[in-house]
Amino acid sequence: MKTVISIQSHVAYGYVGNRAAVFPLQRLGCDAIAVNTVQFSNHTGYGEWTGQVFTAEHVADLMDGVAARGVLPGCDALLSGYMGDVGLGQVIVETAGRLKAANPRAVYACDPVMGDVGRGFFVRPGLPEFIRDHAVPAADLMTPNQFELEYLTGRTVETLDDALAASAALRARGPRLVLVTSLTRKDADPGHIEMLADDRDGAWLVSTPRLPLDPPPNGSGDAVAALFLAHYLKAFDPAQALEQAAAAIYAIFQTTRRMGTRELQLIAAQDEFVNPSQRFAVTRVR
């Protein structure tokens, strides 16, 4: 059994942040240690919410308590998502270093949540620069969407060659593996959406049909990062993890659409995490 520390946001209702990541990790056999950066009634996509953002000191204090239990040497990975602000980002990067000191084989998986195509940045000023300059060099695995990949590398991604060049540029700054979670390019079928996994030994692409979800459910990037990490920790095989994660998130989207809700239907689709009913071919592109 693998153990993953997940430092992300938390909502009472719905599925984003840790609510979108912890259950998939657990369903795939990982013991998840959840540390919440915020506690809101619901995700901010609804336009209104209640709750509080936790301070960096609060999160650091929680991690001190976790470390005091002597669990860090047995932890296999740290997964981080929405950071909130630079101070909290510093705590997360420091936690990654702390974990690696306790277990040099541990993986720091950073989902650089900061913006998206059409929305632009939706995080506090200074955080994109912090992620670019500090989280990227500390990470082993980065899971940016296309907008985030372009920002982190200063490159425009319009073709597969562009995506490969950008992911290589990101790897050159620290991470050994990059998962581009939502790739839309001019030289591909507009009715499909792709994910790209790229490491020094190769790159793999998977394409799934684009489902009409309006509005698109929040939390899909959080779920994909957790699904990919859980499968990656089993065999450290990027292609296999990509195939499994793509099948699972597609099934989640299908179930969400069928049930007519804007919240990801993780519970209803949980068996698809383990045994997907529909798989998609993974193609080696480098």
How does pLDDT run across 202-220, given as a tens digit for each residue?
Answer: 999 999 999 988 888 999 9
Confidence of residue 122 (pLDDT cuts 50, 70, 90): confident
116 is in an annotated binding site: no
Tokens for 100, please give them: 């690696």
Mean pLDDT of 152-163: 97
Mean pLDDT of 81-85: 90
243 is in an annotated binding site: no
What integer pLDDT is reported at residue 119 of this predicted model?
79
pLDDT tens, 257-286? 999 999 999 999 999 999 999 999 999 999
What integer pLDDT is reported at residue 13 of this predicted model?
97
Pinpoint the alpha helices (H) of 76-117. Answer: 86-102
**Sign of the torsion angle spanned by Cα atoms 232, 264, 191, 121:** negative
Mean pLDDT of 15-23: 98
Beta bridge partners of 78: 5, 108
Cβ neighbours for 91, distance < 8 A, ≥ 6 positions apart: 56, 59, 60, 63
Backbone angles phi, psi at 22, to 5 degrees: -65, -45
Buried b (16+ CB within 10 A) or exposed e, 123-134: beeebbebbbeb
Tokens for 72, please give them: 């860090």
Asked if residue 118 has pLDDT above 80, the reply is: no
Which of 253, 280, 281, 283 has its CA nearest to residue 269? 253
198 is in an annotated binding site: no
What integer pLDDT is reported at residue 117 of this predicted model?
80
Do residues 161 and 186 touch, judged by C-beta distance below 8 A?
A: no
What integer pLDDT is reported at residue 124 of this predicted model?
87
Do residues 16 and 25 touch, judged by C-beta distance below 8 A?
A: no
pLDDT tens, 222-263? 999 999 999 999 999 999 999 999 999 999 999 999 999 999
Q: What is the average pLDDT value for the chain, to the nearest integer?
A: 95
Which of 141, 70, 69 has its CA nearest to residue 112? 141
What integer pLDDT is reported at residue 107 of this predicted model?
98
Confidence of residue 52 (pLDDT cuts 50, 70, 90): very high
Percent of the chain clearing pLDDT 70 (strictly above): 100
Which residue carries 């698109």 as its tokens? 216
CA distance 86 to 182: 25
What integer pLDDT is reported at residue 222 of this predicted model?
97
Confidence of residue 116 (pLDDT cuts 50, 70, 90): confident
What integer pLDDT is reported at residue 19 of this predicted model?
97
Q: What is the DSSP letter of 70?
A: T
- What are the distances in angstroms from CA 110 to CA 120, 243, 244? 19, 20, 19
220 is in an annotated binding site: no
3-state secondary structure of 154: coil
